Structure 1
Amino acid sequence: MTIPSATYRIQFRNGMTFDRAITLLPYLQRLGISHLYASPIFTATTDSTHGYDVTDANEIDPALGGRDGFNRLSTALQQTGLGLILDIVPNHMAASLENAWWRDVIEHGENSQYARYFDIDWSRRLTLPFLGEDFERVLQNDELSIKPHPQTGHPALAYYDSFYPLTPASWQGRADEVLAINDRAAIAELHQQQPWQLINWRDARKDLSYRRFFEITGLVGVRVEDEAVFNASHALILELVHSGAVSGLRVDHVDGLADPQGYLQRLRRAAGEDCYITVEKILADEEQIPSEWPISGTTGYEFIAALSHALIDDTQIDALHLAYEAVTEERNDVSAGLRAARELMVDRNFAGEFSRLLALATVVAHSEQRNFGEAELHVALREMLIAFPVYRTYGRPAGMPLAGEALLQQVLEAVKFSAFPAALSFLQAILLGAISEQSEQDAAEFRTRFQQLTGPLMAKSVEDTLFFRNHAILAINEVGAEPLPHPFSVEHFHQQMQTRLHHQPDALSTTSTHDTKRGEDARARLYSLSEAPALWAENVTRWRELNQSKVLTLNEGPAPEPAVEWMLYQALAGAWPTTLRPDDHDGLRTLEARFLPFVEKALREAKLRTDWADGDETYEQAVLEYAKHLLSAENSAFLTDFVTAIQPFVDAGLVNSLSQTVIKLTAPGVPDIYQGSEALDFSLVDPDNRREPDYAVLEAQLVDRSRPDFTQPSDWRSGKLKQQVIACLLHLRLDKPQLFRFGDYQPLYATGAHPEHLIAYARQDSENSLIVVAPRLMLEGTSWAETSIPLPESLAHRHYRNLLSGATLALNEQLSLDNLPPYAPLVLIAS
């Protein structure tokens, strides 16, 4: 297996095609990338912006250039010596009429050859939740009609531009008669004869008959645990791997699968031992990938969480939380907020999935003659789901791993006073497989669906609810982050890196993705708020006063409320371009076009005063007008104050950015560069983070591989400095792959006047020694005077070359930092 030295993620679609990607390969080669990492390339719904809504897993999307375009890209990659990693989507496909498999299921129901390809409850009619209102209202509005299907000419139920094929038994032998139907009662009767029923999209959360991806009804779960389904959905993927065109696979949402371990073992057997495989998997703190999984590791969200320990000021972050409470005039009880978010998910957003689980548990309870009813089971199941601390357990037909048993015991201990003990013990017995044989079929389905539900519940309650409600410091509201308040420490970062080296040295280390809540450089800037909570609070108080006239008083309270104001100023500070001036009207309009969609999404994801399903347009409009005012050229007093006040955070953020970059490129793991973030990435949540970068500028900045000049402010602010540092270190990784893959990780600790302002470690194998020193907590421009790093014997008494400056130095028992600029990281390689 060839392990990448570094990957570069490209988002195909939205104008990025295979032929366009080919033109970027010389640039990626100069940058030092070993593998192109591609978003899904298989045929997806028309105008898909991301490719995760696959309609044909065995066709390369013509919109990207089709198979011919892919072959051209493959040839170009081989000519430049770059590998290719594909993002594949085994958990779901598009529940779209463009999907031939899905369309066949609609037409033929349970008799379709693809009926078992999808995770559908066939005990009732297939629900299609794509109506704007209830069926009866849509019918009365004459929005439904019988028309010939555009492709087949057969009778179909038409709803605007969608044509739902009628099952043959309802029209064969009388097609003309059926096509002539225009009576509402006759349409309703014909609809009743179908193996499917159209319903209001709002009813999906409680009445869906198929497993979906999270809350997205347009994505239907695929039963890839079935060998026939695996083979049918992976035929082209495996062909590309076996041909040598693809050297690695990234598995999307592995926790959604019925049996992740079984799937990965089958994928490994089918793809071969040489295929590099990673999985999208969110790990909680101290959680590790199951050792039985035959993969190289995760896609690296836990690395982002580890970095926060290296760059946040733990001595002052509590003061920032207190400042937030003072401004909002509310106690910020994150634990209570987390429970409230989880309750909302269980009781409302995933009500249908919960009801199905409860029904299965009730059937098993009756079969096992347990002397408690559905009400007791309801409370017990609800409490267990709410208390679940990780994405899921990994029980299989053979039983639950010891780690899973321990986790279930932990959950039961947490809820033992909240539910009927016998009901809790019964649910534990089902999950551990301690059920009689006569109940095993229903119990097995319960186990599978319980494990498939805990992940979406965690993701939607934490990442897509709590993180949009709790605004104290937005930088830590990130995918993979621990939601509850916790200490931050450099020591914890060191421990995480040593664990990473031991458990998954070949996993990806990421800092930005298409799913992160904000770009890596926005996050790095906002980390610095932890260094000056009083200053930040003073700024917010002053800005609120400057813009007070734009706060509206609604029946439910002010709009925006203080917590949302705090969020808006922080999000704006994170996204503010380094060179944007308050009098640059065009630049302000460009930022506004990105900022307002973020604000709308943030309000709806919070699910407090508005929501995606039940929106409060008056409230949303009030907050959007407030946000728009912040970026109005007429609001010059605020803009001038804002730009001046955030400059110290901007400068500190650029130092943080460089530190996290150097750490990512030298710590255990395979660094992943998200498109454009080799320069500066101040993006907001998707879709903003999926914009195509300006590759012309990026290529122009890297015409030559000159050494970075840390004394040029323009290079910091353009991202050129960061880009040069990346190119320098990536080429070192190409030259010394064994050092970075197998080299030991040794924490180093400074002594003297300013040890808290740096993080240091060494990487060492039998042939090479590397010392890394990165600045931290630099908001006040602290120096490294009278500070040094004692060196262990294995690193001492040697000559080193500063990879970033070219200078050489001889080190004895210590590395003195006295005369070194504290804003420039050190990367020293033994010469």
Structure 2
Amino acid sequence: MCIPTATYRVQFRNGMTFDRLTTHISYLKQLGISHLYASPIFTATDGSSHGYDVTDANEIDPAIGGRAGFDRMVDALKAEGLGLILDIVPNHMAASLENRWWYDVVENGPASAYSGHFDIDWSRRLTLPVLDTSFEAALEGNEIGVGRDPSTGKPSLTYRGSFFPLAPYSYAGRSEEIMKAADRETIAALHDEQAYQLIPWRDVPRALSYRRFFEIAGLVGVRVEDRQVFDDTHRLILELVRSGAVQGLRIDHVDGLTDPKAYLDRLRAAVGPDCYLTVEKILGDDETLPADWPVSGTTGYEFISAISDALVDGDNVGRLRQRYEALTGHSVDGSADVHAAKRLLLEKNFVGELTRLGDLVLEAAEIERYDMAELERSARAAVTELLIAFPRYRTYGTETGLTSEDADLLETARSTIQVEDGSPISQALDVGLRLLKGSVSVDARPVAASFRTRFQQLTGPLMAKSVEDTVFFRDNAVLALNEVGSEAAQAQFSIERFHEKMRMRARHWPHALSATSTHDTKRGEDARARLYALTEMPDVWAQAVDRWQSMNSGALANAEKSRAPEPNVEWMLYQALAGVWPVETGVADAASLKALEERFIPYVEKALREAKLRTSWLEPDEDYEASVIAYARHLLSPDNRRFLEDFTETIVPLARAGFVNSLSQTVIKLMAPGVPDVYQGSEALDLSLVDPDNRRLPDFASLDSNLATAEVTNLDLSDPGSWARLKQALVARLLTLRRDDPGLFATGAYTPLAASGAAADAVIAFARTDGARAVIIAGPRLVGRTLRQQSIVGLPELLSDVEISLPTPLADRRYRDLWSGRSRFVGNSIQAIAEASPVPFLVLVSDEPAA
């Protein structure tokens, strides 16, 4: 199999095309990556900013260069010896009339050749959620009419410039008549004859007739489990792999598929054994990827979570949460918060999916001869409780039922639900569990199969939207911990946990991607690393927030007699701002403040709506949002001088500690087990906010120019202007090391190394070994308090008395220092790891056996 030594993720669109990327391939080679890792490249909706809304899976999008541009890019990659990994989207396509398959389904309904390609409930009419009001009100307001679609010439229903095709039988022999005299009665009758119905977009949660991607009605589920659908949607993908243009695939949202393993087995058989496959999969803290999946691992969200164990102050994170609770009045209870968010989403956002599951329980109960009079009132409630109690993204049951592990997981979830034995809701829960396990009568097996599939396809979106897109915007105590792949309000952090996770990674999934920034992360890796340092200074931060609240109290507003923003949101605003604060320019540069405001305000709006407390996407409170946004603008006003100066003075030590964290995070990612992925531009500083901010086009010209002269020079924490170049140079040096010795990092063992001395807790050390080859890595952690207390700008003083013990396989051998190139003999320990080094990171390389 072709295992990358390192990947570089590029977001096509938003200005990035194949030809534009081609001009930067020599830069990627110089940086040290082995494979370009491309966002979806297949034709998507017009103006798509991400490519996950595919309209034609068998065409390369002309908007980014089409097949000709793609081929030129592939040729250029091959000329530099680089490979290509594609992000593919088997779970869904765009529910857009630009999608010719979807258009055909809308036009012809169940008679369409593609009606089985999409996951549609054909027991009722296909719902198209495009109206701002009811159909009757839109018709009465003359917003719905009949006209010829200018792109096809076919008679269509029209609504605000959109054309919805009419089934040919509904206008056969009378198209001209309809065009000339289409009164409201005629239009309503035509609408009633279609296999679809136009509905208000607000009705999506309860009325949608097809499986969507998460909450997005514009993305319709694809039945890729059907062999014909698989073939139709993978024709070009397989051609590109078999031709040698593509060496790897990243499978988006694998948990959305009916049977992920069956899909992956089919894909592996189609692409052959050499294609590198990874899956986008969120793992719980106690969960591992199924060992029988024919992939190299996940796309790396769990690696981000592991990094927090190494860089978060586990002794003080609880103190920061306590100060947050005292200042804001917002209590932190991860489990309770997730359960509350799940209940809210099931009642408002996923009510249609919930209702369908409840109906299936009733259908099975009737077949199994339960007392229906009792169960009818309890089925939906029972499914609700089971969904809320279920602790992971999904189980992986098939037509034959569940694995013993998944069955035990569901039984454990069931045991946490407080219901009276023998009560109707208890009986309904039993029916639901029997359906999931497949332990039902022959007559009920089709219902069980449907229930199991729908349940498994709902638990993932429900968990994601509850945790990542609700709780992580409600619990603002430590924003750095609110990241994709992390647990809500995680309490335990330790270097021992990190080492154990890396040992397991090396043993079971050594070729999984290791990510620190992605297009889906809540903030850029350097912003997150900076905010990790807050866990080391909880009292300093809380006191600062108290001061800033007082300074800016005049900007508070009353939205419907409630304070806006409330203290919880104020804490969030200050912390989010701290993560992205431009310490290199500070408050003197009004232009930088304005540029930051343009990025910050969309983040604020998104954070408020995702929290779903006083406003939401479905029910926005514009007055409240305007009040909070006005407050945020006030924070960034050049006239708010007193606050800006205090904020900057407070943030500078945090930023220094954060940059040390950033370098440590970088070194760990590039040296630890797994394939490191560099997200576009994050080889320099990535102080981005949530999307769309994190999908901005990097300044490749500057990156290229800086790398040409980049050196791993002395770390100067007093000069933030030098940080980006230093990080970039560090990335290039370490990626080159990986590329020069791929075997060591692909299959090498992971060995934690023990440190001793007064600052032992401030060091992380480990080794990678593969036979005679070895590399020793050591660097700083938890330096925030030291940097603040001693006001030092370097770290040799902190690390000078640390001693790292070496086990027998690593001791008594000669090593080459990566930074100086000098060779030295090392006994059974290493001391003064930061002396005579430009950066406080020890990287010693040996390719000879111990003496």
**What is the CA distance between 1:188 and its match in structure 2?**
1.2
User: 1: CA distance between counterparts of 2:94 and 2:834?
Assistant: 59
Cα distance in 1 between the residues matched to 2:572 and 2:720: 30
Report what 2:66 is aligned to.
Answer: 66
Assess if the C-alpha contact under 8 Å between 1:775 and 1:823 holds in 2: no
Partner residue, 1:413: 415
Unmatched tracts of structure 1, length 5 or more: none
Match of 1:646 among 647, 651, 655: 651
Check whether the contact 1:578–1:717 (CA below 8 A) recurs between aligned residues: no
How big is the shift at 1:823?
A: 6.4
Q: Does the 8 A contact of 1:705 with 1:728 survive in 2?
A: no
1:794 aligns with 2:799: no
The 5 A counterparts of 1:64-143 are 64-143=64-143
Shift of 1:712: 7.4
The residue that corresponds to 2:572 in the other structure is: 567
1:323 aligns with 2:314: no
Q: Distance in 2 between matches of 1:339 and 1:620?
A: 26
Which residue does the alignment assign to 1:255? Answer: 255
Equivalent runs, 1:265-414 vs 2, <5 Å: 265-371=265-371, 372-414=374-416
CA change 1:54–1:628 in 2 (3 A) is: same
Indicate the SS of the match to 1:719.
helix
* Structure-1 residue corresponding to 2:5: 5
* Whole-Å separation in 1 of the counterparts to 2:178 and 2:625: 46
State the partner residue of 1:221.
221
- In structure 1, the residue matched to 2:208 is 208
CA distance in 1, matches of 2:396, 2:331: 37
Task: Please tell me the residue identity of whatever aligns with 1:825.
Answer: F
Secondary structure of 2:750 counterpart: strand
> CA distance change for structure 1 residues 139 and 804 in 2, over 3 Å: closer, same or farther?
farther
User: Is 1:724 matched up with 2:729?
Assistant: yes
* Structure 2 residue aligned with 1:709: 714
- Of 754, 771, 778 in structure 1, the residue corresponding to residue 776 of structure 2 is 771
Change (3 A) 1:717 1:141: farther
Matches of 1:679 and 1:741, distance apart in 2: 25
Q: Is the 8 A contact 1:518 1:685 kept in 2?
A: yes
How far off is 1:648 after superposition?
0.6
Distance 1:206 1:629, change over 3 A: same
1:739 maps to which residue? 744
Q: What is the letter of the counterpart of residue 290 of structure 2?
A: P
Q: Is the 8 A contact 1:708 1:805 kept in 2?
A: no
* Displacement after TM superposition at 1:715 (Å): 7.0
Q: For each residue in 1:241-295, what CA deviation from the matched residue of structure 2 results, as whole angstroms up to 9, or x when unmatched?
A: 0000000000000000011011000000111111100000000012111112100
Partner of 1:817: 832
CA contact (8 A) 2:712 2:839 kept: no
Task: Look up the match of 1:145.
Answer: 145
Native 8 Å contact 1:708 1:804 kept in 2: no
- What is the CA-CA distance between 1:702 and the residue it aligns to? 0.5
Amino acid at match of 1:403: E
Q: Which letter does structure 1 place at the counterpart of 2:446?
A: Q
Tell me the alpha carbon deviations over residues 396-426 of structure 1, each in whole angstroms, 9 at most, x when there is no partner: 1133122211211211111153773332222
**Residues 134, 804 of structure 1: alpha-carbon distance in 2 compared, 3 angstrom cutoff:** farther
2:178 is equivalent to residue 163 of structure 1: no
Q: Cα 1:202–1:801, aligned 2, differ >3 Å: closer, same or farther?
A: same
| Contact kept in structure 1, 2:60 and 2:66, CA below 8 Å | yes
1:826 aligns with 2:842: yes
Q: 2:681 aligns with which of 671, 676, 682?
A: 676
- Residue 416 of structure 2 aligns with an amino acid whose one-letter code is A
1:818 deviation in Å? 6.7
Secondary structure, in 3 states, of the residue corresponding to 1:654? helix
Structure 2 matches for 1:448-467, cutoff 5 A?
448-467=453-472
**Offset at residue 499 of structure 1 (A):** 0.8
- Aligned-partner Cα distance in 1 for 2:205–2:585: 43
Q: Write the letter of the residue equivalent to 1:241.
A: V
The CA deviation at 1:825 is 1.5
Work out which of the residue numbers 577, 599, 605 in structure 2 matches 1:594. 599
The CA distance in 2 between the partners of 1:541 and 1:805, in whole Å, is: 47
State the AA in 2 paired with 1:791.
L
Q: Is the 8 A contact 1:146 1:158 kept in 2?
A: yes
Deviation digits for residues 82-104 of structure 1 (CA, Å, limit 9, x no counterpart): 00000000000000010000000
Counterpart residue number, 1:472: 477
**Counterpart contact for 1:353–1:453, Cα < 8 Å:** yes
Identical counterparts, % of pairs: 55
1:784 matched to 2:789? The reply is: no
Alignment of 1:566-585 (within 5 A): 566-585=571-590
User: Residue 619 of structure 2 corresponds to which residue in structure 1?
Assistant: 614
Conservation of the 8 A alpha-carbon contact between 2:710 and 2:726 = no
**Does the 8 A contact of 2:505 with 2:673 survive in 1?**
yes
State the SS of the aligned residue for 1:55.
strand
Distance 2:685 2:834 in 1: 28
Partners of 2:597 and 2:75 lie apart in 1 by: 41
What residue is the counterpart of 2:509 in the other structure? 504
SS of equivalent residue, structure 1 residue 234 = helix
The answer to whether structure 1 residue 246 and structure 2 residue 246 are counterparts is yes
Provide the residue aligned with 1:661 in structure 2.
666
Change (3 A) 1:202 1:4: same
> How far apart, in 2, do the equivalents of 1:225 and 1:806 lie?
54
Which has the higher mean CA deviation after the structures are superposed, 206-215 or 574-583? 574-583
Aligned residue pairs total 831
Contact 1:250 1:279 (8 Å CA) reproduced? yes
Q: Which residue of 1 aligns with 2:499?
A: 494
**Distance 1:807-1:133 versus aligned 2 partners, 3 A rule:** farther
CA distance in 1, matches of 2:9, 2:505: 22
Which of 418, 421, 425 is the aligned partner of 2:430? Answer: 425
Letter in 1 for 2:745: F
Q: Do 1:784 and 1:822's aligned partners in 2 also have CA atoms closer than 8 Å?
A: no
3-state SS of paired residue (1:415): coil
Which amino acid is 2:400 matched to? Answer: A
CA distance in 2, matches of 1:744, 1:303: 17
Question: d(CA) in 1 for partners of 2:445 and 2:109?
Answer: 27
Select between 324-333 and 611-620 the one with higher mean Cα deviation.
Answer: 324-333
Partner SS for 1:298: coil
Instruction: Give the RMSD, CA atoms, in angstroms.
Output: 1.4
TM-score by length of 2: 0.96
Q: CA deviation at 1:805?
A: 3.6
Contact 2:309 2:493 in 1 (8 A): yes
Letter in 2 for 1:801: R
Task: Tell me the distance in 2 between the aligned counterparts of 1:161 and 1:194.
Answer: 19
Shift of residue 161, structure 1, vs aligned partner: 2.1
Distance 2:534 2:181 in 1: 66
How far apart in 2 are the matches of 1:293 and 1:547?
54
2:83 and 2:438 mapped to 1: Cα distance?
43
Pick which of 780-789 and 591-600 moved more.
Answer: 780-789
Matched residue of 1:199: which SS? strand
For residues 804 and 205 of structure 1, the distance between their equivalents in structure 2, rounded to whole angstroms, comes to 57
Q: With the length of structure 1 as denominator, give the TM-score of the two structures.
A: 0.98
Q: Mark the runs of 5 or more structure 2 residues left unpaired by the alignment.
A: 788-794
Partners of 2:239 and 2:99 lie apart in 1 by: 21
Q: Which residue of 2 aligns with 1:193?
A: 193
Q: Equivalent residue for 2:19? A: 19
Counterpart residue identity of residue 338, structure 1? V
Q: Given that residues 97 and 103 in structure 1 are in contact (C-alpha distance below 8 angstroms), is that contact kept between their aligned partners in structure 2?
A: yes
